Chain A
Amino acid sequence: MNIIGPDTLVFGVENVNDCEQYLKDYGLEPVGSGVFEALDGTSVIVLAKDDASLPPALESGSMLRKTVYGVADQATLDAIKEELSTDREVSTLPDGSLEACDDQGFCLGFQITIRKQLNLPAETVNSPGAPPQRPLNVIGADPKSNPLPRTLSHVVYFVPDVAKAEAFYVERLGFFCTDRFTGLGPFLRPAGCQDHHTLFMIQTPAFLQGCEHFTFHLAGPTELLQAGTQFSEKGYETFWGPGRHIFGSNWFWYFNSPFGCHVEYDADMDIHDDKWQEREAPVNADTTQIFHFLARDKWFPSGPPPAKK
């Protein structure tokens, strides 16, 4: 099934103002009605948790209320409707999109994707032994640059039954498992997307069911480090990072948020096709990060020079 990836995550939150400010500071563009967009039009929607337009909350009270997938065309929508209608209710909303629950109770939407084709330059590096990517006299570090999230990358769920959850996405919606952490969960990508994962799931007790984090792709590691630094300077608190994952190779920097989950900046993820052989590893500090720095506001290890008396 030609599902491309998440177009939109819909949240019903406790404190709308805090959440809106957070997404603006993160770099998404407010376009009205609680919609905050990345450059390609993928988005996060922020509504008050009792907003009548929201699907019901999970029993756990997770603020993530809906994950809307973009698909290639109407034929894919029809195929999804046919497949899921065999054992659950699938409604067609006035805008033509579909709505149904996955096997763990997460509300899903499916729509013909709203993603705009991006045509943007890649980050460039000059590596000895290779032709330079930046010509003579072109500068790499610009303290004034303001990196913007390009596209919604992935969402991570806490799920009570990870085997069942995985089976739903793989068997019913045609997702592929790229890699997995033993006993913890799989990295999944839909058939219409080459990214290492758009969905990762983690086995947890049922009362924790919900979203662990979501993230947008930036242009590359330099943008990630710069965006994360700027976000920290605005007062936001790092949870983990910056660093680089092993599965997916993506750079990461996770922050706490008022969404009841972490929010990440992500860059430079591996891409795969169906020739890829799934890998498996136990989860620990050595398998989740190839390297990791803790953000600190000082770089001098021994402190500043003594103050003048």
Chain B
Amino acid sequence: MSAKVVKLCNMDQLADGTSRGFDPLGEGRDTLFIVRRGKVVKAYINSCPHWHGAPMAWRKDAYLTSDKKRIACYGHEAEFDIENGECLSGPCLGQSLTALPIHVSLNNTLYLLLKDLQHKNTLL
């Protein structure tokens, strides 16, 4: 684990209204996911506030509600605001997802600082 910066993907590889999981720490599971809505891309730790450490998608990369308007946890149907990660309905109402700062290069590549992920991942 030498690289300090993790390249996730290019903006073109993330269609509007979709989400995608990543495993930069090589844990064999996606530790974070990103969501795109329009020009906005947000990254969150893949852990539901209802049950810390619980992964949220129901299938690889499936982190959104079927109308794509919110982030969902497919454990017990919690729904979250895409913009700020706040739980809007479900068992963890009032709690929030853990956001990760995301960096966009001039050619629209999405990056993450490894230390941000390592730090937030150990808080779980």
Question: Chain A: residues with CB nearer than 8 A to chain B?
Answer: 14-15, 18, 22, 61, 204-205, 208, 212, 234-239, 255-258, 260-262, 294-298, 303
How many residues of chain B are within 8 Å of chain A by beta carbon?
Answer: 20
One of A61, A212, A298 near B28 (C-beta < 8 A): A298
What 10 pairs across the A-B complex have the smallest Cβ distances?
Answer: A296-B28, A235-B60, A256-B74, A297-B28, A256-B58, A260-B77, A15-B66, A235-B59, A237-B55, A298-B28
By a CB distance below 8 angstroms, the chain A residues around B34 are none
With CB as the reference atom, state the residue of chain A lying closest to B23: A297
With CB as the reference atom, state the residue of chain A lying closest to B91: A208
By a CB distance below 8 angstroms, the chain A residues around B55 are 237-239, 256
With CB as the reference atom, state the residue of chain B lying closest to A14: B66
In angstroms, how far is the closest chain B Cβ from the Cβ of A232?
A: 9
12 further interface pairs, Cβ-Cβ under 8 Å (given A235-B59, A236-B59, A295-B28): A14-B65, A18-B58, A204-B91, A237-B56, A237-B60, A239-B75, A255-B58, A256-B56, A256-B74, A256-B75, A258-B66, A260-B74
Main secondary structure of the interface of B (DSSP, over half): loop
Within 8 A of A (CB), among B37-83: 54-61, 65-66, 73-77
Main secondary structure of the interface of A (DSSP, over half): loop
Question: Chain B: residues with CB nearer than 8 A to chain A?
Answer: 26-29, 54-61, 65-66, 73-77, 91
In angstroms, how far is the closest chain A Cβ from the Cβ of B112?
A: 20
With CB as the reference atom, state the residue of chain B lying closest to A212: B76
**Are A257 and B26 touching (Cβ within 8 A)?**
no
By a CB distance below 8 angstroms, the chain B residues around A260 are 74, 76-77
**Are A256 and B66 touching (Cβ within 8 A)?**
no
Q: Indicate the member of A15, A212, A239, A256 with the most B CB atoms within 10 Å.
A: A256
Cα distance A106–B91 in the bound complex, in angstroms: 20
**Are B60 and A296 touching (Cβ within 8 A)?**
no
